[in-house]
Amino acid sequence: MAAMSDAVMPQTPEPRRRRSRRVIALVSVLGPGLIAANAGNDAGGIATYASAGAQFGYRTLFVMVVLTVAYAVVQEMAARLGVFSGEGLVSLFREQLPLRLGAFVILCLLVANFGLVVSEFAGIGAALELFGVSRYLSIPIGAIAVWAIVVFGSYRYAERLFLLFTLPFLAYPIAAFLGHPKWGEVASNTFVPHVLASKGFLFLTVALIGTTITPYIQLYEAAAMVDRGMGPSDYPRARIDAVGGAIFSDLISVFIIIATAAAIGDSGALSSAKQAATALRPVAGAGAEALFAVGLLGASALAAAIVPLATAHSLAEALGVERSQSKRFSEAPFFMGMFTAQIVVGSAIALLPGNLISLLINLAVLNGLIAPVVLGSILVLANRRSLLGDAANGPRFRVVATVCVGFASILAAIVFVQTVLGWLGLGR
């Protein structure tokens, strides 16, 4: 046996190296689109998709089909703008739009992104509450950990770790099948609209828009193309990555809705992370809460780092100041200061008393109300031949993109009007 072992051992390193190279090659292909997809299914996303299944069963599935098309279209435009212009979206908004309009769009992005920072730390708190840890302990520790990981230069390694933590959410497709949903209703609601003319349904639909087509993901997509030095010759690969990431992300989202609907459908609005975790019981049994908590923690931590980084990077790029996270505070004071301020204030707001799940959904609605402004601006830029030349939107793509942005805008306007009327005491 010893001789056999000695004979085999010298042959093992090379196959291992080949396997490692294959894994590295696979990871290199799965670029910004995959990272954006995982970060997009963050705390607010998981809470919103689970709440859709709990509150309305399978009725929002057709909405998700429409949103998947819209998401893929928008991500492709963001990637194309980054590849062919060589600039991030904030710089393009500042340079290509009229001064006041550009400033308004950038302000909307800042508000949306700051709301997301709050929601990610709320997600960290909700995840660790499932392990019995108070939010007043977990959120400050989470904020310090995320800040230290980025500032001290180990973020690239942590990003891979956070991505691994999100793997439990791949259990949702399995849970959807093991939960024995009513597949006839699933098919019917996926391909035929089953819209409810109620405030609650419209409110949650806008939340789905806000958490699916999240503005910061477009920022991240375009900036990642620029940072990687991707040019026009890299566009085919960038397009596959952007569209593939969007589709993959929304497939997971759809399975979250199906699994939750099968477990607790039509039971009312989601009120706790523990309730959301019940959808994973067909897979994990008594360990469902722990599995859900690990996935929620990983997704929240990943986005808690990416969102403030993307915001700080975009603003620093627009102002033409140093924007490298490998620099010290003294070398990149604006970039590091913006990142730190978002972490401090966002985590502090997440500590305020209240239901964390309700906070996550309300922040998703805020993103949904802001999204049309950002999406409309991306569409305007992607239509410009003066900016993109032959890579500008063609007639057919322009129609599809306009319909997608119009769909989000109309729903956001309805919910906004309803909200204002409610404040005035005029809503029913």
Does some domain include residue 16?
A: no
Cβ–Cβ < 8 Å for 392, 384 = yes
**Residue 181 binned pLDDT confidence (cut-offs 50, 70, 90):** very high
Residue count (the chain): 428
- Say if CB 26 and CB 244 are below 8 A apart: no
Average pLDDT over residues 188-196: 92
Which of 132-141, 403-412, 417-426 is the least confident region? 417-426
Q: Is residue 25 part of a domain?
A: no
Distances (CA, A) of 28 to 22, 38, 179: 10, 16, 35
Q: Are 258 and 53 in contact (CB under 8 A)?
A: yes
Q: For residue 106, what are the domain limits?
A: 33-423
Q: How far apart are CA 197 and CA 59, in angstroms?
A: 12
Residue 224 domain flag: yes
Q: What is the pLDDT of residues 368-383, one digit of tens each?
A: 999 999 999 999 999 9
Cα-based angle 259, 53, 248 (whole degrees, multiple of 5): 60
Quote the pTM value: 0.87
- CB-based burial label for 276 (10 Å; 0-12, 13-18, 19+): buried
pLDDT for 314 equals 79
Amino acid at 216: Y
In a domain, 5, yes or no: no
Would you state the pLDDT for residue 215?
83
Residue pLDDT, tens place only, 138-168:
999 999 999 988 888 666 676 677 667 777 7
Question: How much is the average pLDDT of 318-327?
Answer: 74
pLDDT at residue 236 in the model: 92
C-alpha span between 382 and 378 (Å, rounded): 6
Residue 4 lies in a domain: no
d(CA 93, CA 100): 10
**pLDDT tens digits, one per residue of 205-237:** 999 999 999 888 888 888 888 877 889 999 998
Q: Which positions ≥6 away from 221 have C-beta within 8 Å?
A: 32, 33, 36, 75, 78, 79, 82, 242
Classify residue 253: in a domain, yes or no. yes
Structure tokens at 273: 């992370």
Find all residues with CB under 8 Å of 190, minimum gap 6, and list them: 58, 61, 62, 65, 254
Residue corresponding to tokens 């026009």? 232
Closest CA to 415 of 369, 358, 360: 369
Task: Write out pLDDT tens, residues 82-131.
Answer: 999 999 899 999 999 999 999 999 999 999 999 999 999 999 999 999 99
Q: What CATH number is associated with residue 192?
A: 1.20.1740.10
**Residue 7 placed within a domain:** no
pLDDT digits (tens, 9 = 90+) for 37-76: 666 678 899 999 999 999 999 999 999 999 999 999 999 9
Question: For position 326, what pLDDT does the model report?
Answer: 66
d(CA 385, CA 398): 12
**Rounded-to-integer distance, Cα 358 and Cα 355, Å:** 5
Q: In the prediction, which pLDDT does 269 show?
A: 84
Give the mean pLDDT of 347-355.
94
Q: Is 381 inside any structural domain?
A: yes
Domain count, the chain: 1
Mean confidence (pLDDT) of the chain? 86
